[in-house]
């Protein structure tokens, strides 16, 4: 498995399949896009077709990527979203495949998505109060989102409820959301404000620390586990309810990050906060002579993007939050290249260009 210069393994990939969205959440991080606002429907047609995602999935699986998260924008805006899911699940059959959605269109697609290979879904429900939900998202869609969540669970998908907790907006609903999530059979994922995109302007006024929520969960008898991805604590209550905590502005979060991001325009990026060089995967695979050549080019592009991976939030002096306990490794491009050439050789033929 590939590692970056900080000893962090590369295990997962976030697939941004569209920049368009049917919501207008006032805190949107835009998945790191510097566009400035969510793209209106019809304004930014997808750059990658399902056939491109077949190549991406096959290449990613070949270099050791074990999971994919499909997101956007709003992924269900794409009329061919079921084909995109099937493309990934067919060509990376052992990988964990999930999706993040606002749920507005999920009731329509839930069964088809499961049949295509999707196994988990995160549905954003930031409030259980209709007017407050509308204020947060810009859409009067609470009932449809809840129906979509319920349809997903009925179809066989494991579900999480994503709730961004905002000071002065919905922090009083945390335990109502916990009760709701447990009742429908979903895990509640509480998220602190991400200071990226539109959320960067709200950090001082709307960031709500989840520390006090964690303390209350412990008082309620919760047992704590830690998820490998981003070192996320998971609180399991005696009644079976589960809460996952996401703190995206901590060094612990960055120390255990294991993902690359494929933007909707076909560019590989190492981080939501990244503003530097990106790797153009799409032009490489479109310029290949044949399908096998496209897979090889995609593998090379992913290895190059892995060299760019850096933790955005570094540990404070004395912290041992990185796998190598603070001792930073020199990027081993030569080692990665040798590993890549070995993988290419296993596919048959010469490993070079």
Kindly indicate whether the domain formed by 12-160 is annotated with CATH number 3.40.50.300.
no
pLDDT at res. 320: 55
Three-class SS of 168-231: CCCHHHHHHHHHHHHHHCCEEEEECCCCCHHHHHHHHHHECCCHHHHHHHHHCCCEEEEECHHH
Measure the CA–CA gap between 270 and 277, rounded to whole angstroms. 10
Query: What ranges do the domains of the chain cover?
Result: 12-160
pLDDT at res. 333: 64
pLDDT at res. 248: 87
pLDDT at res. 325: 39
Taking CA atoms, 340 is separated from 161, 334, 344, 347, in Å, by: 38, 10, 6, 11
- Low-confidence residues in the chain, pLDDT < 50: 324-331, 350-353
pLDDT at res. 118: 98
pLDDT at res. 34: 67
Q: Is the peptide bond before 73 cis (omega within 30 degrees of 0)?
A: yes
Cβ count near 239 (within 10 Å): 9
């Amino acid at each position: 498995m590939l590692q970056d210069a900080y000893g962090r393994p590369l295990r997962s990939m976030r697939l941004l399949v569209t920049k368009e969205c049917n919501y207008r959440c006032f805190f949107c991080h835009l998945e790191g896009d510097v566009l400035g606002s969510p793209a209106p429907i019809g304004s930014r047609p997808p750059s990658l077709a399902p056939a491109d995602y077949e190549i991406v999935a096959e290449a990613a699986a070949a270099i050791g990527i074990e999971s994919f998260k499909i997101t956007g924008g709003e992924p269900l805006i794409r009329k061919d979203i079921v084909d995109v899911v099937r493309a990934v699940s067919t060509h990376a059959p052992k990988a964990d495949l999930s999706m993040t959605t606002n749920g507005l269109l999920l009731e329509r697609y839930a069964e088809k998505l499961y049949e295509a290979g999707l196994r988990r879904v995160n549905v954003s429900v930031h409030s259980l109060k209709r007017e407050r939900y509308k204020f947060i998202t810009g859409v009067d869609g609470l009932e449809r989102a809840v129906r979509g969540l319920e349809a997903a669970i009925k179809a066989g998908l494991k579900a999480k409820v994503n709730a961004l907790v905002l000071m002065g907006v919905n922090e009083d609903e945390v335990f109502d959301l916990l009760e709701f999530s447990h009742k429908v059979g979903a895990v509640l994922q509480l998220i602190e404000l991400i200071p990226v995109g539109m959320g960067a302007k709200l950090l001082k006024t709307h960031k709500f620390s989840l520390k006090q929520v964690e303390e209350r969960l412990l008082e309620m008898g919760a047992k704590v586990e830690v998820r490998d991805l981003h070192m996320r604590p998971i609180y399991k209550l005696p009644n079976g309810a589960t809460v996952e905590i996401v703190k995206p502005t901590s060094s612990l979060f960055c120390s255990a990050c294991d993902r690359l991001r494929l933007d909707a325009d076909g560019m590989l990026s190492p981080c939501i906060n990244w503003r530097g060089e990106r790797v153009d995967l799409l032009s490489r695979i479109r310029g290949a002579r044949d399908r096998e050549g496209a897979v090889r080019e995609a593998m090379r592009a992913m290895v190059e993007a892995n060299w760019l991976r850096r933790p955005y939030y570094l540990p404070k002096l004395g912290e041992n939050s990185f796998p190598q306990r603070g001792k930073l490794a020199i990027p081993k491009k030569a080692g990665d290249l040798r590993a890549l050439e070995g993988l290419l050789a296993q596919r048959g033929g010469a490993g070079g260009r």
